[in-house]
């Protein structure tokens, strides 16, 4: 099995040293997968399928066993696939542990496709969620999650490109033995560099003048850091001394300082957080541990904190996001900062330091551009609301500002990441109230707020009132204890809008992201909000369109960002039962198509369509057939396609809808640009 | 019966299982996974399914046979049965499980008991069918033939 997309990878992969014993010149063959499921039937089938994909499979039927295996063989696995319902430990618990301790991508799977369960997967940091029965096509592409994670870890290195960075990179590459997922890190660098440059271009607009080389805190580097801190004692650990102890050439005191801040946050989180926040932390931390990057400071403000934090929260964000796909995909530059900010705020990070001057960025054209047209769609009433909310935010911000009066960089970050952030919305919600006062810029803020305001951070009560720099949806998943999903007034939030107005969105975007038009924007949760917030939706739609066009075109070649972004759009649709699942699969597939379909995408579609096919969608079948024959060489026609197809049709019709929840109308398939 | 005839019989029988909804395309996936290195893969997996299901059905029966029914537990059993039956493509069993879960959620004892009966029935049916199929396969192999590949393009 050789996914077409991996052509470039195989050449790259051979160029760098691999972890001992883990060399796989023909990646993704040899990917080390750990599969955990208490159902022996499923376990056996999965193992066989994974072997057929040429992966190195280890199976176990208990979560405890899996954990000890993972702990024993540090860096012995590339990815974990786990069932949700297990007798000895909840799959999500296992997910958290793995995220925290080993920082491996984890795919959840279950026969349960209920929205809540899938959401849980997202919020706990799963990088994907497969519905049983799992088809081999779905497994063929799991390597993407490994790649994506690595890519995000190296992203900062690529952006800086300085000699210093180069040295650091080499040093880190040389230390691959300790890297849990380093087998392909070096190899991905080059390929990522190319792709990242596109993504970074936007992000650099405002930071180019002040760009500083980023430090990627690899697992190894972080371990050295932790050892130094422990040696000094957490209270006495000052950056200067830590730096001396670590003795890493090229590392600056500043890098250490920002990393220390994050680390302290992490520790604080560990000690006193709720379950939900804990899960957030896990994702956050895991990514942090992997890559503490630093963003070049803006106007003298230490944005490293932000950047680094954003790197990780991006993961959390990603997980929080409905997409549930590439967790690490959220790490793509811009969105991460938003996520980061969100996370930082959520944890009452007093360390954020933003220069007041950053506010200028808020007013930058970039922000305005993003929202061009949006303000005009906003009714005066909403503007007023925004103003009001701005004030309320202002007061909230006071809290944060008191400790660390730096908001503008945050805003700037958010503003920058808006286009992407929008996709990633979700966890920001709870943190909106804490946005710095800088947010209260009437002009720009309005437009910005307009988008974000919709995101109801304050638990569904403030609708469109909380200005947010980023259109990130305040997805309650992040802090479910605080924001029950049903109270989302996020219906109008950009993120959520992904779900609801998706159909509109689809119509607007003609860049190839069609197909989801069939999604009925009738999510119960959002219905009432929808009526109230028609304006917001317009905003969101525009934003979405903006984002989509932003993303689809430049990111043709950027598999990792696009899918995550686009999938995020698609994923929320799975929030609803049944139909959404299918729709989501299709949406995902379609988005993949929009991005610039490669074989793997087609396979995804194929699989999704197959699922649909089996679930009684006649239209699906007709659509599906050409796909299947074009892409799958596993099914040479022996029996007679027509023959069996008709057999199935008859069967379907005779049986009637297999599941009442699959009220799929097949529309979206009609638009699939096969 | 000569090999060719047996093979045709196998094909027809398999086709009928799909037509009647006993099996779905997931079963084809299993057959695809079978090759010369694993010539008995399907039989092995299905046997595993039989064992597991029988245990589950027993547990399920016991759980519903109590004074104070633990619907959550029952639901967990049904969920597992749904997962494994869908993994091998036992469509009708899976569909019964779906209905069953709804009743569990509603804590509808009558509905649950009815579903339990239905599930058991469907399970027995599909078990018989598959065993017949495997019997045919054994005969073909014994007669020196090979099992035709069932290929479907969807």
pLDDT tens digit string along A590-633?
A: 443 334 334 444 444 444 444 444 444 434 343 434 443 344 34
Of A132, A613, A638, the CB nearest to B154: A613
Q: Residue A654: how many CA atoms within 13 Å on its side-chain side?
A: 12
Task: Assess contact for A421 and A468: CB atoms under 8 A.
Answer: no
- Which residues numbered 96-125 in B keep a CB inside 8 Å of some CB on A? 98
**Chain CA centroid to CA B127, Å:** 6
Residues A298, A303, A308, A309: is their CA dihedral positive or negative?
Answer: negative
Instruction: Give every strand in the sheet of A79-83, ordered side by side.
Output: A56-60, A32-36, A79-83, A106-110, A128-131
CA distances from A671 to A541, A578, A581, A623, A625 (A): 19, 20, 17, 9, 15
* Distance between CA atoms of residues A162 and A246, nearest Å: 21
* Whether A655 and B83 lie within 8 Å, measured CB to CB: no
Coil vs helix vs strand at A659: coil
> At residue B47, does pLDDT exceed 80?
yes
Tokens 């007061």 correspond to what residue? Answer: A395
Mean pLDDT (chain A, rounded): 54
> What pTM does this model have?
0.44
Q: How far is CA B55 from the centre of its chain?
A: 14
Asked if B86 lies within 8 A of A111 by C-beta distance, the reply is yes
Is the model's pLDDT at A410 over the cut of 60? Answer: no
Q: Which fold has domain B3-142?
A: 1.20.120
User: Which of the two residues, A31 and A430, has the higher pLDDT score?
Assistant: A31
Q: Dig out the tokens for A292 from the structure.
A: 């503490």
Phi, psi of A110 (to 5 degrees): -170, 160
Q: Is the pLDDT of residue A198 over 60?
A: no
Go through chain A and tell me how many residues it has. Answer: 674
Average pLDDT over residues A166-183: 45
Structure ipTM = 0.93
A651:B32 CB<8 A: no
Nearest C-alpha of chain A: how many angstroms from B79? Answer: 7
Pairing of strands A32-36, A79-83: parallel
Who has greater pLDDT, A386 or A218?
Answer: A218
SS3 A628: helix
CA dihedral B42, B48, B52, B55 (to 10 degrees): 120
Question: In this predicted model, which residue has the larger pLDDT, A149 or A426?
Answer: A149
- Between CA A95 and CA A70 the distance in angstroms is 12
Which among B140, B65, B47, B148 is positioned nearest to B109, based on CA atoms?
B65
**B65–chain A Cβ distance below 8 A for any pair:** no
Closest in B11, B87, B149 to A42, CB measured: B87
Are A444 and A457 contacting, i.e. CB atoms less than 8 angstroms apart? no
Mean pLDDT for the stretch of residues B103-122: 92
Instruction: Determine the pLDDT at residue A545.
Output: 38
Specify the DSSP element, H or E, that contains A79: strand A79-83
> CB distance from B91 to chain A under 8 Å?
yes
pLDDT surpasses 90 at A188:
no
- Looking at residue B15, what is its pLDDT? 92
Residue A628 CA, distance from chain mean position: 29
Q: Cα(A617)–Cα(A657) distance, rounded to whole angstroms? A: 9
Q: Which residues from chain A sit within 8 angstroms of residue B106, using beta carbons?
A: none
Predicted confidence band of residue A546 (pLDDT cuts 50, 70, 90): very low
Q: Say what the pLDDT of residue A246 is.
A: 84
Q: Using one digit for the tens of pLDDT, what is the confidence trace for A440-498?
A: 344 433 433 333 433 333 343 333 444 444 434 333 333 333 333 343 333 334 333 33
Cβ distance B38 to A48 less than 8 Å, yes or no, reads yes
């Amino acid at each position: 099995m050789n996914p077409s997309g991996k052509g470039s990878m195989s050449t790259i992969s051979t160029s760098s040293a691999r972890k001992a014993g883990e060399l796989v010149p023909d990646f993704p063959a040899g990917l080390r997968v750990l599969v955990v499921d208490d159902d022996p039937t499923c376990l056996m089938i999965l193992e066989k399928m994974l072997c057929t994909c040429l992966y190195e499979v280890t199976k176990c039927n208990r979560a405890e066993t899996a954990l000890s295996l993972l702990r024993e063989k540090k860096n012995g696995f590339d990815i974990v696939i786990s069932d949700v319902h297990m007798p000895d430990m909840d799959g999500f618990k296992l997910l958290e542990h793995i995220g925290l301790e080993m920082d491996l991508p984890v795919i959840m799977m279950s026969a349960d496709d209920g929205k809540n369960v899938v959401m849980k997967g997202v919020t706990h940091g799963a990088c994907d969620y497969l519905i049983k029965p799992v088809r081999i096509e779905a497994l063929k592409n799991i390597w993407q999650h490994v790649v994506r994670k690595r890519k995000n870890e190296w992203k900062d290195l690529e952006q800086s490109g300085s000699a210093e960075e180069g040295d650091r990179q080499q040093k880190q590459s040389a230390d691959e033995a300790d890297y849990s997922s380093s087998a392909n890190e070096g190899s991905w660098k080059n390929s990522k560099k190319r792709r990242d440059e596109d993504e970074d271009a936007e992000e650099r607009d405002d930071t180019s003048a002040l760009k500083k080389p980023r430090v990627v805190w690899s697992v190894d580097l972080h371990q050295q850091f932790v050892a130094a801190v422990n040696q000094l004692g957490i209270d006495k650990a000052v950056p200067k001394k830590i730096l001396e102890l670590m003795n890493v050439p090229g590392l600056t005191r500043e890098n250490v300082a920002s990393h220390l801040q994050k680390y302290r946050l992490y520790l604080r989180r560990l000690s006193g957080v709720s379950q939900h926040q804990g899960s957030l932390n896990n994702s956050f931390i895991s990514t942090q541990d992997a890559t503490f990057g630093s963003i070049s400071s803006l106007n003298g403000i230490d944005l490293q904190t932000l950047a680094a934090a954003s790197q990780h929260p991006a993961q959390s964000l990603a997980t929080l996001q409905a997409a549930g796909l590439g967790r690490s995909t959220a790490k793509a530059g811009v969105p991460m900062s938003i996520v980061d900010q969100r996370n930082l705020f959520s944890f009452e990070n007093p360390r954020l330091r933003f220069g007041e001057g950053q506010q200028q960025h808020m007013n930058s054209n970039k922000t305005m551009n993003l929202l061009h047209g949006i303000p005009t769609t906003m009714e005066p009433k909403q503007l007023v609301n925004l103003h009001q909310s701005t004030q309320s935010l202002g007061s909230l911000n006071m809290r944060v500002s008191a400790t660390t009066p730096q908001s503008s960089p945050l805003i700037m970050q958010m503003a920058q990441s808006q286009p992407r952030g929008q996709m990633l919305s979700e966890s920001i919600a709870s943190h909106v109230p804490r946005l710095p006062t800088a947010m209260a810029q009437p002009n720009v803020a309005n437009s910005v707020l307009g988008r974000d305001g919709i995101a109801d951070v304050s638990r569904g009560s403030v609708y469109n009132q909380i200005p947010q720099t980023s259109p990130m949806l305040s997805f309650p998943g992040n802090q479910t204890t605080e924001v029950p999903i049903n109270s989302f007034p996020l219906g109008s939030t950009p993120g959520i809008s992904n779900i609801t107005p998706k159909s509109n969105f689809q119509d607007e975007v003609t860049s190839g992201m069609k197909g989801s038009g069939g999604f009925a924007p009738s999510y119960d949760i959002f219905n009432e909000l929808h009526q109230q917030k028609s304006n917001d939706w317009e905003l969101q739609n525009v934003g979405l369109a903006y984002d989509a066009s932003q993303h689809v075109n430049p990111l043709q070649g950027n598999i990792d960002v696009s899918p995550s972004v686009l999938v995020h759009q698609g994923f929320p649709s799975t929030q609803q039962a049944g139909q959404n699942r299918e729709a989501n699969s299709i949406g995902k597939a379609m988005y993949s198509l929009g991005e610039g379909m490669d074989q793997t995408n087609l396979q995804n579609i194929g699989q999704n369509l197959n699922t649909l096919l089996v679930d009684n969608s006649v239209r699906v079948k007709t659509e599906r057939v050409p796909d299947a024959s074009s892409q799958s060489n596993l099914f040479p026609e022996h029996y007679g396609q027509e023959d069996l197809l008709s057999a199935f049709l008859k069967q379907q019709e005779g049986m009637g809808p297999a599941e009442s929840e699959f009220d799929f109308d097949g529309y979206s398939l009609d638009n699939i640009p096969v | 019966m000569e090999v060719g005839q047996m093979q045709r019989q196998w094909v027809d029988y398999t086709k009928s299982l799909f037509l009647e909804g006993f099996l779905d395309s997931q079963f084809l996936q299993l057959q695809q996974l079978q090759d010369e290195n694993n010539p008995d893969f399907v039989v092995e997996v299905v046997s595993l399914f039989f064992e597991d299901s029988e245990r589950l059905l027993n547990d399920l029966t016991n759980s519903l046979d109590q004074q104070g029914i633990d619907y959550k537990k029952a639901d967990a059993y049904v969920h597992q049965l749904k997962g494994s039956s869908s993994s091998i493509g036992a469509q009708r069993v899976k569909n019964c499980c779906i209905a069953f879960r709804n009743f569990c959620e509603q804590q509808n004892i009558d509905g649950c008991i009815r579903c339990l009966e239905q599930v058991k029935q469907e399970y027995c049916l599909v078990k018989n069918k598959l065993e017949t199929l495997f019997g045919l396969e054994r005969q073909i192999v014994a007669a020196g033939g090979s099992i035709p590949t069932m290929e479907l393009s969807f």
